Amino acid sequence: MDEKQLRALVTSILAELPSGGEGSGADNFAPKTAPIPLEASARHVHLTTEAIESLFGKGAALTMKRSLSQPGEFLSEERVKLVTPKGELPGVAVLGPARKAVQAELSLTDCRALGLNAPINLSGDLTGAADVLIVGPAGHIDAKGCVIAARNHIHMTPADAARYGVSNGAYVQAATDTARPVTFGNVAVRVSADFALAMHIDFDEANACAWTQGASVTIRPCGKRDGTASPETTAAVAAVPAAGQPDLPKLITESLAKTLAQSSQTLLIPKGTLITPAAKDVFFSAGVTLKVQ
């Protein structure tokens, strides 16, 4: 069993552990918080087969240096230089395998240095992407509309998604366990059988939270169900939680939780209130934030 398999096993065992018995108090509210590995991605490009030949020579292919956490993905030995009228970045990593579109993923700090106004997009979404010249040892390509600042996201398998009570396209908050703790909002959840459980951030974000190897995040819902609300909306909802909230009984059961989840995104829970595990699951799945008073 290698480290990755062991990590996955420990994560799955932690996720199975009960978060508190039937009689646990509201202040023990602990949704499915098994930690998720937090990985930082350095600036890099993805290339097409044609682009690889233009940059590294006819018949050239990428040479694997080491594999990455997502199955099949690898860091290659090859490097390119990115050039704009305002500046250049040498030694930029090339990730393999070849893709259908050229894409450069840079931090916002990199973009500033290059004078680029790149959108914050999920990898693969080149809407509004900026232009850059990519230079290799055998040639260069004028890569139009290919620079993005990668939007942070969490990769997980369908089994992970079921355990965490989220689905593909959901958005969550992710709190780091790092020396400078940061909670990222509106983190996109991407679900595929081909993925390995990990959250990906860029190096601006990594430095912001003082990321180190082995860091992890715990996630909770963003307080919305369809992934369309903005972080501002989420903050506004959290700021006015008590408006119109009914008086709560001392015990919140699953059926009551279902009723409450239909009308409230945030609930103020008086200290000492008992919430059954099934009720906690209802709140978590519905994205309801519980605030213990």
Residue 24's CB is within 10 A of a number of other CB atoms, namely 17
Say whether residue 43 binds Zn ion (CB under 5 A).
Answer: no
Q: How far is the CB of 69 from Zn ion (least distance, A)?
A: 8
Pairing of strands 139-150, 130-136: antiparallel
The answer to whether the CB of 105 falls within 8 A of the CB of 149 is yes
Distance CA 155, CA 193 (A): 10
Q: CB-wise, 12 or 192, nearer to Zn ion?
A: 192
- What does DSSP assign to residue 33? -
Q: In sequence order, what are the residues at sequence separation of 6 or more whose Cβ sits closer than 8 angstroms to the Cβ of residue 17?
A: none
Which range, of 196-204, 228-236, 271-279, 281-289, touches Zn ion by CB under 5 A? Answer: 196-204
Q: How far is the CB of 141 from Zn ion (least distance, A)?
A: 24
H-run or E-run covering 160: helix 158-164
Q: Cβ-count burial of 31 within 10 angstroms (0-12 exposed, 13-18 middle, 19+ buried)?
A: middle
Q: How far is the CB of 108 from Zn ion (least distance, A)?
A: 17
Q: How far is the CB of 10 from Zn ion (least distance, A)?
A: 21
Q: CB-wise, 43 or 200, nearer to Zn ion?
A: 200
Amino acid identity at 41: S
| Number of residues written out for the chain | 293
Which range, of 15-23, 46-54, 140-148, 197-205, touches Zn ion by CB under 5 A? Answer: 197-205
Q: CB-wise, 80 or 201, nearer to Zn ion?
A: 201
Q: CB-wise, 120 or 240, nearer to Zn ion?
A: 120
Q: CB-wise, 200 or 224, nearer to Zn ion?
A: 200
Which range, of 112-120, 170-178, 192-200, 278-286, touches Zn ion by CB under 5 A? Answer: 192-200
Provide the token pair at 282.
């209802």
Q: Which of these, 186, 197, 195, 187, lies nearest to 163 by C-alpha position? A: 197
* DSSP code per residue over 47-72: --HHHHHHHH-TT--PPEEEE-SSTT
Total interface residues for Zn ion by CB under 5 A: 1
Q: How far is the CB of 17 from Zn ion (least distance, A)?
A: 27
Q: How far is the CB of 191 from Zn ion (least distance, A)?
A: 13
Task: Dihedral sign for Cα 247, 164, 201, 187, please.
Answer: negative
Helix (H, G, I), strand (E, B) or coil at 239: helix
Task: Return the residue nearest Zn ion (CB atom).
Answer: 200
Q: How far is the CB of 198 from Zn ion (least distance, A)?
A: 7
Q: Which of 151, 163, 200, 224 touches Zn ion (CB under 5 A)? A: 200
For binding to Zn ion (CB under 5 A), which residues are involved?
A: 200
